Structure 1
Amino acid sequence: MNEPKVSVGIMFEPQIDFVLQGNYLCNGMTLSGIQTAGYSDGKIVWNGSSYDELLFEPTECSSDSFELQDVTIGINFHWERKENQRFRGALKLIVENEKLSAINLLSVEDYLISVISSEMSATASVELLKAHAVISRSWLLAQIQKNNEIADTKSEYIAFSQTEDECIKWYDREDHVNFNVCADDHCQRYQGITRASTPNVEMAVRNTAGEVLMSGTRICDARFSKCCGGAVEEFQYCWEDVKHPYLVKLRDDKTGAVLPDLTKEVEAEKWIRTSPDAYCNTTDKRILSQVLNNYDQETTNFYRWKVSYTQNELSELIKKRSGVDYGEIVDLLPIERGTSGRLVKMKIVGTKRTLTIGKELEIRRTLSASHLYSSAFVVERENIINQIPRRFNLIGAGWGHGVGLCQIGAAVMGEQGFLYDQILLHYYVGASINKLY
Structure 2
Amino acid sequence: MQYNNGNEPDIRVGIMAEKTIEIELEGVYQCGSKEVTGKGSAFFSGNDIHAKFESGISFEGEKLVFQPTDREACSLLLRDVTIGINFHWERKEDQKFRGGLELIREGENIRAINLVPVEQYLVSVISSEMSATSSMELLKAHAVISRSWLLAQVDKHESLQSEEEKYVTTRQTEEELIKWYDREDHTDFDVCADDHCQRYQGITRVVSANAATAISETFGEALTSNERIADARFSKSCGGISESFENCWEPVHHPYLVKIIDNPEAPQGFDLDLTAEENADRWIRSNPPAFCNTTDAKVLSQVLNNYDQETTDFYRWKVEYSQEEISALIKKRTGIDFGNIKALVPVERGDSARLIKLRIEGTKKTLTIGKELEIRKALSTSHLYSSAFVVDTEGEENGLPAKFILTGAGWGHGVGLCQIGAAVMGEKGYSYREILAHYFKDALLEKVYS
Q: Same fold (TM over 0.5)?
A: yes
Q: List runs of 5+ in structure 1 lacking aligned partners.
A: none
CA deviations 1:98-148 (Å, max 9, x no partner) are: 100000001000000000001111110000000000000000001111121
Moved over 3 A (4+): 256-259
Paired with 2:389 and 2:321, the residues of 1 have a C-alpha distance of 14
The number of residues matched between the two structures is 437
| 2:272 aligned partner | 260
| 2:341 aligned partner | 329
Paired with 2:102 and 2:365, the residues of 1 have a C-alpha distance of 46
Say whether residues 1:177 and 2:192 are aligned partners: no
Letter in 2 for 1:220: A
| 1:250 aligned partner | 260
**CA shift for structure 1 position 386:** 3.6
CA deviations 1:182-213 (Å, max 9, x no partner) are: 00000000000011111110010011011000
Say whether residues 1:225 and 2:230 are aligned partners: no
**CA shift for structure 1 position 51:** 1.5
Letter in 2 for 1:18: I
2:177 match: secondary structure: strand
Paired with 1:90 and 1:171, the residues of 2 have a C-alpha distance of 28
Per the alignment, do residues 409 and 97 of structure 1 end up closer, same or farther by CA in structure 2, a change over 3 Å counting?
same
Q: How does 1:13-412 map to 2 (within 5 A)?
A: 13-47=18-52, 50-257=60-267, 260-412=272-424
Letter in 2 for 1:107: P
CA deviations 1:148-184 (Å, max 9, x no partner) are: 1222233321101000010000000011111000000
What's the RMSD between the two structures over aligned residues?
1.1
Are the aligned partners of 1:231 and 1:259 in contact in 2 as well (CA < 8 Å)?
no
Paired with 1:232 and 1:46, the residues of 2 have a C-alpha distance of 47
Are the aligned partners of 1:250 and 1:259 in contact in 2 as well (CA < 8 Å)?
no
Paired with 1:255 and 1:121, the residues of 2 have a C-alpha distance of 29
**CA shift for structure 1 position 256:** 4.3
Letter in 2 for 1:263: T
**CA shift for structure 1 position 254:** 0.6
**CA shift for structure 1 position 40:** 3.9
Letter in 1 for 2:432: Y
TM-score, length-normalised on structure 1?
A: 0.98
Paired with 2:182 and 2:169, the residues of 1 have a C-alpha distance of 8
1:149 match: secondary structure: helix
1:179 match: secondary structure: coil
- Aligned identity (percent) is 60
Are the aligned partners of 2:391 and 2:405 in contact in 1 as well (CA < 8 Å)?
yes
| 2:15 aligned partner | 10
Per the alignment, do residues 49 and 211 of structure 1 end up closer, same or farther by CA in structure 2, a change over 3 Å counting?
closer
Paired with 2:47 and 2:247, the residues of 1 have a C-alpha distance of 39
| 2:55 aligned partner | none
CA deviations 1:307-338 (Å, max 9, x no partner) are: 11111111111111110000001111000000
**CA shift for structure 1 position 364:** 0.4
2:66 match: secondary structure: strand
Are the aligned partners of 2:78 and 2:94 in contact in 1 as well (CA < 8 Å)?
yes
TM-score, length-normalised on structure 2?
A: 0.96
